[in-house]
Amino acid sequence: MTITTCIFDAYGTLFDVSAAAREAAREPGNEALADSWPKLAADWRAKQLEYTWLRAITGEHRDFWSVTQNGLDWALEAQGLTDPDLRERLLQLYWELSAYPEVPAMLTALKHAGLNTAILSNGSPDMLAGAVNSAGLQALLDDCLSVESVGIYKPADVVYQLVEERFGCTRDEVLFVSSNGWDAAGASGFGFTTVWVNRMGLPVDRMDHRPAHILTDLTGIPDIAKGTE
C-alpha cells in the first residue's frame, strides 16, 4: 500500500528535548548548570517518560505538562539544585524547544509530495502548539494529535488509532516516525510502517515488534515515504 500519511512523535523526534537545559546553561546566573546540564536533561527526559508509562499502567492519568514538571523536579533534586527561578526558566524554555535542523526541509518535501503530515504526541495540545509555533512549523503540519483526547499515553493502541480516525486512512498507509525505540515498536505492532530515528546509536529494543527502518536523522524520511529507499 502507498504511504499517504506521515506521522511524527514530537519530543526527541522533531524537537530537541535537551535544548531547554542547554539554553539555560548558557544564560548569565545559571553557572550551576555549566557542567551538569547534560545529566539534568537526560534525567528529566527519563523521568518524564517513566511517569507516562507508570500512569498508563495504573490508570492515573495526568496531562503531559504535569508529568514534565514532575520529571524536572526529580532531576533538579538529583543534582542538588533548589533555585525556583531556575526551575521556572527551564519550564519556560520547554515551551520553546528548537526543532532539529533538518526538520523544516524534510516536512516541506513531504508536503510537496502531497502527503498528510501530523504530530502524534504524549504532549498536551497547548504544549504542542507552543513548540510548533516557536519552531515556525505551522504551515508544514496538517494537525497535532494529542493523547489528551483519549486519556492514556503511548504506546496504547487507542493512541495510534487517532491517526486512522483523523485522516481516514488504513494502517498500512501510515509512516510513523519516532526517536523512541519503544514508540516505534508500539506503532509497528499496531500496523504502521515505522522509522526509528536513532540519533544516539542505541541497540534496538528487545520487543515483539521492530521498526521497519532505522535512520540517524530525519533527512531520509521523504525517500522512505515515496518508496525510493
Whether 95 contacts 121, CB under 8 Å = no
Q: Give the cell for residue 211.
A: 521498526
**CA 43 to chain CA centroid, nearest Å:** 16
Whether 211 contacts 184, CB under 8 Å = yes
Q: Give the cell for residue 2.
A: 502507498
Whether 113 contacts 139, CB under 8 Å = no
Residue 205 is among the residues annotated as catalytic for this protein: no
d(CA 95, CA 60): 24
Q: Give the cell for residue 20.
A: 531547554
d(CA 40, CA 225): 35
Among residues 9, 16, 63, 183, the one annotated as catalytic is 9
Catalytic residues: 9
